[in-house]
Structure 1
Amino acid sequence: MARVPAQAGPVSVSAPAATGTAHQDVLSQAAAQVLSDNWTGASTVPSPRLYPHQWSWDSAFIAIGLRHLSPERAQQELETLLGAQWADGRIPHIVFNPAVALDAYFPSPDFWQSSTAGRAAGAPVARETSGIVQPPVHALAALLVHRSDPDASRRRRFLERVRPALIAWHDYLIDCRNFGGHGLAALLHPWESGMDNSPCWDEPLGGVEPAPAGSFRRADLAHGEASDRPTDLDYGRYVGLAARYRDGGYQDAGAEHAFMVEDPGFIALLILSEHALAEIAVELGLDADRHRSRARRLTTALVRRLWSEEAGIFLCRDVRTGSTLAQKSVTGLLPLVVPELPQSVAQALVQTMTGRHFGLGSATRLVPSYDLQSPAFDTSCYWRGPAWFNVNWLLERGLRHHGMPELADPLQQALVGTAGASGFAEYVDPLTGQTHGTVNFGWTAALVLDLLAQAPNSRPGR
């Protein structure tokens, strides 16, 4: 069985005023050490204590960094995850490691009961997983992993092997989650957004009956500050939603869902990955038109359905009520990564990102997860304000794509410097850079490796 490494102390590398090649090498080695310590033999855990299993979008980001150390291990990261894909196409948000004790994490495999409750939806019999999903970054990750060593990738037929699974994954989201009827995949649980306790979910969660107090335990509080984590009431609602989805056999169509939300960040990443599937098709000598056409249709629907010119940001929509949700979250900025986003929309997003609501370049060096001006803003509580490294990596990528290096360059430097100084934190206070959550976090270390590989004179070690 796979070894679960012990939690090491935080690997902290302070950034000097002028980052040189020597410092880049030290930081690269420290990030590589985090990924080595978090490796289980087949995949990489986000954090050995707090998150001791394989998480879906974590593994996509981790593979993006691993490709600079070992393209083959990056391929294995994605293939391990895809090996737990359900027959209906969904990629579960957690793949459980049977070597980890049940009480190490909740909700644990005995809660999700995927191999039995998910049988009708095609859950794997030999692997225990969760029954919900996370944002679809995987095709982008597969394309970048291939490009890190295309000759070796072709010899292993990596893209040929993962492409059918990635297509089935996107088909599931577009066909089975189109609850609003506009072609946009909807979330059935806040955890599916990856931004668990965002204030965007407060209103649609308000009518969700929480699981009874005492019917579940919170393993997360044993490894982190309660003030950094979702409240007990929110957690009770999360558990209640997941239990009802499980008891309904993880059925999408024809079932009553208490939470259905169209999330612009989730949809933007699906569009980005559709473009990646098009590039994968070109690499394999196949027709890419299907993916390009679908990406364009999704982009049109995203702008028409969720763009708010008045707010200068994309807003979530509650499918049950049909109403938009007024909260300004970083998920509404993520469509900046969409390759064919109208330039006027991209420019408006940047104005919002650098304005008083997110303060990039003035009040903040990293984009916060929520509106600085809102009473709900919290510098330390998970997705209610702290800055996260994966979304900032995506936004840096979006800024470069839309021709804004004057903003992308300092954001890249802030990402690398803050990550090193914080011990590769899970997330940080966007105003001070103070560490929150756990340290030696998988995707933080991985994305630092990716950013360093783009820097001049970089030499990420294999």
Structure 2
Amino acid sequence: MTDDLARRARRILLANWRRGFTVPAQGLYPHQWSWDSAFIALGLRHLSAVRAQRELESLFGAQWPDGRVPQIVFNPAVPANAYFPGPDFWGPGARLASTGLVTSGLVQPPLHALAAWEVHRADPVTSRRRGFLRRLYPKLQRWHDYLFDRRDLAGDGLVCVIHPWESGLDNSPAWDEPLGRVAPVAPATFVRRDLGHAGAGERPTDLDYGRYVRLAADYRDAGFVDTLGGSAFAVEDPLTNALLAVGETALAAMAGELGTDPAPHRERAASLTNSLVARLYDPAEGTFFARDAHTKSLLRQRTVGGLVPLVVPGLPVVEELLKTARGEHFRLGELSPVPSYDLTSADFEPARYWRGPAWFNTGWLIWHGLRTHGHDQLAGRLGEGMLDALRLAGFREYVDPLTGAGHGSDDFSWTAAVAIDLLEVPAADGRTA
């Protein structure tokens, strides 16, 4: 069964490869997505070191002059209307003069440095021969500099997302309050391509989608300038900041490999971790919450994003966070993958995009965090549970955490990549129950 699962996962990544990068899935997602490529590279490293490196090199080939790594790099071989919002929506301001590529103006969570370091570690000989880290390290630095310098909109040491799509958890209930202040565009002004690939009950509502389009259009029309006053939606997201802290730790390791000073990266990681705990962690609830940069208030919906800081090395609240994760809200150790939203909430929806379903990529982040902090037995149970869920539902985009039923796109690339990584990484050694 395990061999069959691995063969199926490899076939998916092969079928979704597009001459230098991997699409998330055939059909709805015909382009390159930013954090998808990071997860995909983590799986590809076990199959082909060169292909894993090319996955990230392709993405960073579309890096903007200001350092941002775009959410989407549009494939010029695909019709412009295959996805909305497509290249025509983003306009000339999102066209790269150096390559002619058109991208989204938004970004996604910064998993890339961790992925690049793990790709290097999987085959350091090939990585050094190709100059992989030597070429990618300065681009990763510029990417992180953009986030630290341009996205600390509240000036308190934490990075903001300025659109729900930037969080990776697009339709999370955590965004409902700040999103409610955004006037939606009329549904008649755009065509939703997503509803041609999944039922309306699995996707965001027309009202929310209209708000997403409004935010994206306003950002485009303002020239992609990052200011608090110009961002109707500005949220300090625990997942984004946690991955940035982990990324700085990975950059420190790269600096050591390349013979440069790792200290600035370690200092940034420590400072960001301190700010993350001081501002977004609620000791009474034992979890992290997103924070509205306009109102300075926590957005108190319990989501999987509040558990993802488990990935941060040296996090001082690991045991408290694990107690919450194993409790009634998420049932870590019992359900796999981890639900995206509080199981006990009245508005929990097990099949609607990020409002309850379990996703394999966030499950991987928690699995990685458990291993980082020595909770290997629990990580092993989570990993085996995710593999069992794959055997039941197939390589779906997400699953119902209670029934295991698959939803969203099929033959999903990061689901296949996570499966390969779980099958290839050595089993848990049982250091901590």
* TM class, shorter-length: over 0.9
Q: Secondary structure at the match of 2:155?
A: coil
Q: Secondary structure at the match of 2:65?
A: coil
Structure 1: unaligned runs, 5 residues or longer:
1-22, 457-462
Matches within 5 A, 1:50-89: 50-89=28-67
Partner of residue 274, structure 2: 300
Partner of residue 205, structure 1: 179
Select the residue among 151, 155, 159 that pairs with 1:181. Answer: 155
The question of whether the paired residues in 2 share the 8 Å contact of 1:46 and 1:54 is answered with yes
The residue type paired with residue 420 of structure 1 is R
Q: Aligned pair 1:223/2:194, yes or no? A: no
Deviation at 1:124, TM superposition (A): 5.3
Matches within 5 A, 1:105-254: 105-113=83-91, 116-118=92-94, 126-253=100-227
The question of whether the paired residues in 1 share the 8 Å contact of 2:228 and 2:234 is answered with no
Deviation at 1:76, TM superposition (A): 0.5
Select the residue among 25, 34, 37 that pairs with 2:12. Answer: 34
Q: Secondary structure at the match of 2:187?
A: coil
Matches within 5 A, 1:394-413: 394-413=365-384
Q: Distance in 2 between the 1:245 and 1:358 partners?
A: 35
Q: Distance in 1 between the 2:114 and 2:84 partners?
A: 29
Partner of residue 311, structure 1: 285
Q: Which has the higher contact order (CA 8 A, sep 6+)?
A: 1
The question of whether the paired residues in 1 share the 8 Å contact of 2:110 and 2:244 is answered with yes
Q: Distance in 2 between the 1:202 and 1:123 partners?
A: 37
Q: Is the deviation greater in 352-361 or in 123-132?
A: 123-132
Q: Secondary structure at the match of 1:160?
A: helix
The residue type paired with residue 425 of structure 2 is Q
Task: Please give the per-residue CA displacement for 1:94-142, whole angstroms capped at 9, x wherever unaligned.
Answer: 00001111221100100011xx2247xx775611000000000001111
The question of whether the paired residues in 2 share the 8 Å contact of 1:87 and 1:123 is answered with no
TM-score w.r.t. length of structure 2: 0.97
Q: Distance in 1 between the 2:212 and 2:99 partners?
A: 25
Select the residue among 340, 343, 346 that pairs with 1:375. Answer: 346
Partner of residue 275, structure 1: 249
Q: Secondary structure at the match of 1:132?
A: coil
Q: Secondary structure at the match of 1:98?
A: coil
Output the aligned Cα RMSD: 1.4
Partner of residue 359, structure 2: 388
The question of whether the paired residues in 2 share the 8 Å contact of 1:85 and 1:124 is answered with no
Deviation at 1:255, TM superposition (A): 5.2
Partner of residue 3, structure 1: none
- Alpha-carbon distance change, 254 to 412 in structure 1, aligned in 2, over 3 angstroms: closer
Q: Distance in 1 between the 2:292 and 2:363 partners?
A: 25
Task: Please give the per-residue CA displacement for 1:47-102, whole angstroms capped at 9, x wherever unaligned.
Answer: 11011100000000000100111110111100000000000000000000011112
The residue type paired with residue 365 of structure 1 is S
Deviation at 1:286, TM superposition (A): 1.3
The question of whether the paired residues in 2 share the 8 Å contact of 1:38 and 1:45 is answered with yes
Q: Distance in 2 between the 1:264 and 1:276 partners?
A: 18
Q: Kindly tell me the number of residue pairs found equivalent between the two proteins.
A: 428
Q: Secondary structure at the match of 1:317?
A: strand
Deviation at 1:455, TM superposition (A): 4.2
The question of whether the paired residues in 2 share the 8 Å contact of 1:84 and 1:124 is answered with no
Q: Aligned pair 1:423/2:423, yes or no? A: no
The residue type paired with residue 16 of structure 2 is N
Deviation at 1:365, TM superposition (A): 3.0
Q: Secondary structure at the match of 1:387?
A: coil
Select the residue among 319, 325, 333 that pairs with 1:353. Answer: 325
The question of whether the paired residues in 1 share the 8 Å contact of 2:336 and 2:358 is answered with no
Q: Is the deviation greater in 249-258 or in 289-298?
A: 249-258
Q: Secondary structure at the match of 2:383?
A: helix
Q: Secondary structure at the match of 1:39?
A: coil
- Alpha-carbon distance change, 105 to 397 in structure 1, aligned in 2, over 3 angstroms: same
| Matched-pair identity in % | 56
Partner of residue 102, structure 1: 80
Q: Distance in 2 between the 1:420 and 1:60 partners?
A: 24
The question of whether the paired residues in 2 share the 8 Å contact of 1:371 and 1:385 is answered with yes
The residue type paired with residue 225 of structure 1 is G
Q: Secondary structure at the match of 2:299?
A: coil
Partner of residue 406, structure 2: 435
Q: Secondary structure at the match of 2:231?
A: coil
The residue type paired with residue 302 of structure 1 is L
Q: Distance in 2 between the 1:191 and 1:105 partners?
A: 15
Q: Secondary structure at the match of 1:277?
A: helix
The question of whether the paired residues in 1 share the 8 Å contact of 2:204 and 2:352 is answered with yes
Structure 2: unaligned runs, 5 residues or longer:
428-433
Matches within 5 A, 1:330-345: 330-342=304-316, 345=317
Q: Distance in 1 between the 2:33 and 2:100 partners?
A: 18
The residue type paired with residue 400 of structure 1 is R
The question of whether the paired residues in 1 share the 8 Å contact of 2:338 and 2:363 is answered with yes
Task: Please give the per-residue CA displacement for 1:209-249, whole angstroms capped at 9, x wherever unaligned.
Answer: 11122111100000111111000000000000000000000
Q: Distance in 2 between the 1:381 and 1:296 partners?
A: 36
Q: Secondary structure at the match of 1:371?
A: coil
Q: Distance in 1 between the 2:31 and 2:338 partners?
A: 28
Q: Distance in 1 between the 2:304 and 2:249 partners?
A: 22
Q: Distance in 2 between the 1:254 and 1:361 partners?
A: 40
Partner of residue 430, structure 2: none
The question of whether the paired residues in 2 share the 8 Å contact of 1:248 and 1:255 is answered with no
4+ aligned runs moved over 4 Å, structure 1: 122-125
Partner of residue 13, structure 1: none
